[in-house]
């Protein structure tokens, strides 16, 4: 039997249950993957709460998780063979399990020398950063960029990677305790919401505003993020942890200096295998070169998934959380 963490109803961490299900042979085009490390992300929390509308009517029990690393036990795709180490960060959900069948098309092989838990700690986050900073807005060496939630999982990867690329990155954090953590991640300057007048500080430091602002917070930071931008600046929204941004008139973008705004949804940028492989290749290169060093805050057994969610919701995490299955394959 295969152990899984599933839910029969949406709600708090307590709805997550350890359960068992049958092991089903992989279908054509699928891989049977024995997980070695499972990434925990805030999108999992949104899913558990019932905040993803497309999950509401899915059959129960619903198994969460969209990121994992593992070893191919059985392959029904000629591109993979048993023993290959693979990673994925994609729907459908179901990564919170010891093993699972998954579409080979959405998996990539891991290069030698990268530890499973290190990749699980940053694969989705690193792909997100690559997409945001290369493809949504390709921020160049010497440009000023602002990144919100700079001490979090995505923000920490962004700080390291942007610094290695010569980008002048400014981090925004939600508490004073997180400021030194963001600074250690490579941000040239770090400002604290609620303490600093961060839009004014950004404009002062940059001499008129940043080329781009990356914002996963949403409602609480919308006005400030717009105020941070230079003429012809670009705001990239990729989350709404504080709520949806308010309605606005497109004329505001004209009046503020020909600004542009994009909402970037992860799945829209890795929709093809070529896109997925290109983004993963650049991330793996950055990991191998040391430009990105994942900060793994804690590993927990699979059965403690609810505790991992509580840690995420506490707002006190400063690194990645990874779930480990019962036993790793030899």
Do 175 and 137 share a structural domain?
yes
Asked whether residue 286 is domain-assigned, the answer is: no
Q: For residue 40, give the CATH number of its domain.
A: 3.90.180.10
Number of domains in the chain: 2
User: The domain containing residue 34 runs over which residues?
Assistant: 2-110+295-324
List 89's β-bridge partners, or say none: 67
Per-residue pLDDT of the chain (330 residues; tens, 9 = 90+): 899 999 999 999 999 999 998 889 999 999 999 999 999 998 899 999 999 889 999 999 999 999 999 999 999 999 999 999 999 999 999 999 999 999 999 999 999 999 999 999 999 999 999 999 999 999 999 999 999 999 988 999 999 999 999 999 999 999 999 999 999 999 999 999 999 999 999 999 999 999 999 999 999 999 999 999 999 999 999 988 888 899 999 999 999 999 999 999 999 999 999 999 999 999 999 999 999 999 888 999 999 999 999 998 887 777 789 999 975 444
Residue tagged 């049977």 (tokens): 32
DSSP line for 196-216: S-HHHHHHHHHTS-EEEEEES
Asked whether residue 329 is domain-assigned, the answer is: no
Helix residue spans in the chain (DSSP H): 42-49, 116-130, 153-164, 179-184, 198-206, 222-228, 250-255, 266-269, 273-289, 305-314
What's the pTM value of the predicted model, to 2 decimals?
Answer: 0.91
Beta-strand pair 67-75/30-40: antiparallel
Do 187 and 93 share a structural domain?
no
Residue 112 CA: distances (Å) to CA of 271, 284, 285, 296 = 26, 10, 12, 19
Do 87 and 130 share a structural domain?
no
């Amino acid at each position: 039997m295969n152990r899984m963490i599933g839910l029969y109803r949406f709600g708090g961490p307590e709805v997550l249950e350890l359960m068992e299900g049958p092991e089903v042979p992989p279908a054509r085009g699928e891989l049977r993957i024995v997980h070695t490390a499972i990434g925990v992300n805030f999108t999992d929390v949104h899913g558990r709460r019932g905040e993803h509308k497309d999950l509401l009517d899915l059959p129960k029990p619903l198994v969460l998780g969209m990121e994992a690393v593992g070893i191919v036990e059985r392959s029904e795709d000629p591109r993979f063979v048993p023993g290959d180490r693979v990673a994925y960060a994609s729907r459908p959900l179901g990564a919170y399990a010891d093993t699972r069948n998954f579409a080979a098309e959405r998996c990539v092989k891991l290069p030698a020398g990268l530890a499973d838990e290190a990749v699980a700690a940053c694969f989705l986050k690193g792909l997100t950063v690559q997409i945001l900073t290369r493809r949504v807005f390709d921020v160049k060496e010497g440009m000023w960029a602002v990144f919100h939630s700079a001490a979090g999982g995505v923000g920490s990867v962004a700080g390291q990677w942007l610094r290695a690329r010569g980008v002048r990155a400014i981090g925004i954090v939600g508490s004073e305790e997180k400021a030194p953590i963001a600074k250690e991640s490579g941000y040239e300057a770090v400002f604290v919401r609620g303490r600093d007048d961060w839009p004014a500080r950004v404009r002062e430091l940059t001499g008129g505003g940043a080329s781009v602002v990356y914002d996963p917070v949403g409602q609480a930071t919308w006005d400030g993020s717009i105020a941070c931008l230079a003429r012809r600046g670009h705001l990239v929204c990729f989350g709404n942890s504080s709520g949806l941004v308010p309605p606005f008139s497109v004329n505001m973008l004209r009046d503020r200096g020909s600004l542009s705004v994009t909402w970037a949804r992860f799945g829209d940028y890795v929709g093809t295998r070529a896109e997925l492989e290109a983004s993963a290749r650049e991330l793996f290169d950055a990991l191998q070169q040391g430009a990105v060093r994942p900060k793994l805050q804690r590993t927990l057994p699979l059965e403690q998934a609810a505790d991992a969610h509580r840690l995420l919701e506490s707002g006190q995490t400063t690194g990645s959380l990874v779930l480990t299955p019962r036993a790793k394959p030899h």
